[in-house]
Amino acid sequence: MNTPQLGIGMTSPRTRTRMVDRLREKGIADARVLAAMAELPRHLFVENALAHRAYDDDALPIGHGQTISQPFTVARMTELLLNGKSPRKILEIGTGCGYQTAVLTKLFPEVYSIERIAALLDRARANLRAVKQVRARLQHGDGHLGLPEAAPFDAIIMTAAASHVPPALLEQLLPGGRMILPLGTQEQFLWMIDKQEDGSIQKTRLDPVRFVPLLNGQQ
């Protein structure tokens, strides 16, 4: 008998396997990332009416003007964060529906995530319970401020576009750590921010991307 976790038809494990095969073909090489995304039922993180599109390589609306990132973007950002290593502690800015959080929870021993929209945070908690990924520590707050009480972090990922790198996040990143985030307004790019052991910052511009903007405050 099929369960919601397994899915059927366009939400079946076979469809999820095809998604992972496409990610591999597009250059995602970290076996840990591919395995995590092969295991997680992405269709449980989207609206029922959009479940048949869950394994397409598209961003999908999740309400409140927010989106779940396309699978390739999730895989790409996660692979860049891992960088062939095994970082321990990560901060996610923008929990959203919890899908990226679930992927991170499979790969990092300590996951912290901030979401400014309380209703989305409640949904993310329910989604993470549904897929039995409950170790992440979720916080309602302003992502610009990070989470100083839990800092420092080995890695930071931001799932909304800022006009500049929030200074608080740079402060909360450990020397030797890495941050992946989209920057820009009209034109956005993915950026890799490496904090050197001496505290200096190295910035590398990567792929053109399209994310919702990072907003101040809470709601």
State the residue for tokens 């707050």: 141
140, 137, 201, 206: which is closest to 169 by C-alpha?
201
CA–CA gap between residue 19 and residue 76 (Å, rounded): 14
In a domain, 93, yes or no: yes
What digits encode the pLDDT tens for the residues 55-93? 999 999 999 999 999 999 999 999 999 999 999 999 999
In a domain, 171, yes or no: yes
> Reduced to 3 states, what is the DSSP secondary structure of residue 169?
helix
In a domain, 117, yes or no: yes
In a domain, 95, yes or no: yes
Question: What is the residue-wise DSSP string for 96-150?
Answer: TTSHHHHHHHTT-SEEEEEES-HHHHHHHHHHHHHTT----EEEES-GGG--TTT
What digits encode the pLDDT tens for the residues 144-184? 999 999 999 999 999 999 999 999 999 999 999 999 999 99
In a domain, 8, yes or no: no
Residue 6 scores a pLDDT above 80: no
Label residue 1 by pLDDT band (50, 70, 90): very low
Cβ neighbours of residue 59 closer than 8 Å, sequence gap 6 or more: 67, 68, 69, 70, 73, 210
Question: Domain tally for the chain?
Answer: 1
CATH number for the domain harbouring residue 71: 3.40.50.150
In a domain, 47, yes or no: no
Q: Which of 12, 69, 86, 113 is catalytic?
A: 69
Residue 113 among the catalytic residues: no
In a domain, 25, yes or no: no
Exposure on the CB side of residue 132, measured as CA atoms within 13 A: 2
Q: Are 114 and 133 in contact, with CB atoms under 8 Å apart?
A: no
Q: Is the pTM of this model over 0.75?
A: yes
State which residues form the domain around 149.
Answer: 57-209
What digits encode the pLDDT tens for the residues 16-60? 999 999 999 999 999 999 999 999 999 999 999 999 999 999 999
CA–CA gap between residue 40 and residue 86 (Å, rounded): 20
Higher-confidence residue of 11 and 110: namely 110
In a domain, 2, yes or no: no
